[in-house]
Amino acid sequence: MTINWQALAADYQTDILHDLATLVAIESVRNDDLATPQAPLGEGPAAALKAMLALAKRDGFATKNFDNVVGRIVAGQGPEVIGILGHMDVVPAGPGWDSDPFFLTQKNQRLYGRGTADDKGPTLAAYYALKLLKDQGITLNKRVDFIIGTDEESGWYGMTRYQQTEQLPEYGFSPDAEFPIINGEKGISTLLLTFNATKPALANRQLLSFSSGLRVNMVPQTATAIITGTLPPDWQAVTAAYAKAHHVTIDTTQSVDGQVFTLTGKGAHALEPDAGINAATHLATLLAPWVDDPAGQQYLTTIATYLHDDSRGHRLGIAITDPVMGELTASADLFTYQPDGEQSIAINVRYPQGTDLDVIQRQMQATLDTTATVSIQDPGHTPHYVSAQTPFVQTLLQVFEAHTGQAGHEKVIGGGTYGRILKHGVAFGAMMPGRENVMHQANEYMPLADLIQAVAIYADAIYRLTR
């Protein structure tokens, strides 16, 4: 039977846009401060999950909601089960948007809004693939469990809850990365540098505060610091020259507490720190030569010496490269400094096979010596790899090639998707090769044509996998 998947997918464009607008409008950022028994991860994630399951109920699928933290949509039947794993939570919007991040804006054939690329858009594309198959009366000879999480961006509590009562499929895919396929994912962990808080000694210029970062998986876009005391006579000229040389914006204002510096760089997903411009490390590098109180000087100098302009961990002594999984990446993402309070830096490390978290911690501690204590804040996930030669991966690559005319090939990323939960799990789309990666950035978008093509690819993939 010859099926024109692309033509069938295009028929759903109006409905997809309507449903995506509904999902994007929900600010589904995990917020434990607003947790309730009915919404353990906050109302936003719970509302987005219920909205997604409501779409499936509307279209006649069997669904189940597990405590408003994870849900399941079931299609097909049979003893063998294929998993599809997506998520409804998003990272905070952050600054720098040209449109409302929680309103679906269509411009120049692009769909703008938080979650359009990660992961509401791709999850909806995979869902519409199931709907397309159902509407065409195509029988699925295997069961498909479409599992929807609500905290993929932080903690994975929902998937932990799911596994307490339900059995996961052995293989499947997550529509939460890029084509042609992601069959390897690096280990992901967070390490915390903690400085001993001490009251500063007498100094000409004191660091009164330093803060930056929204989430530990986002390169910080803005950073703010306050310095008291008399700055060097040329500080304004030096600041302007630094901003121009490094393509950042630096705003300065005088407050009752001192001189306030706010630096704006470029946010990015921590899986590739070089895609962004780390506002915190730039600001620390600018200010370090001026601050001379011991605590503040140590904090800024540590950032400038070990963390600035080095996304591969060379200066921290943790650099490693694996022939299959590539380089380790280190992204300093959360910064807090008060003279007589918390002084910390959270570093997101994504590491290949060939090392482990304990080794990384020891190496980092040896480098920093007594400057700061290195602890494991979140052990996260170990490296995950599925051979490209498995029939499952080969089938997905063949589908990609059939729809794009491009050669399929394996790929390993620093990102973490739900695909790694499954023994033979991979990530499959929905970002097309060569596209700009705007996940976790301001003005996140998904090209409309790519979203529709993803529906066709997913429908064909599910069809072949369930023969």
**Cα 67 off chain centre by:** 24
Q: Which two tokens stand for residue 11?
A: 């028929």
Residue 89 is a catalytic residue: yes
Residue 151 is a catalytic residue: no
Q: Which of 89, 119, 333, 460 is catalytic?
A: 89
Q: Which of 152, 293, 322, 410 is catalytic?
A: 152
Q: What would you measure as the largest C-alpha separation in the chain, in angstroms?
A: 81
Catalytic sites, residue numbers? 89, 152
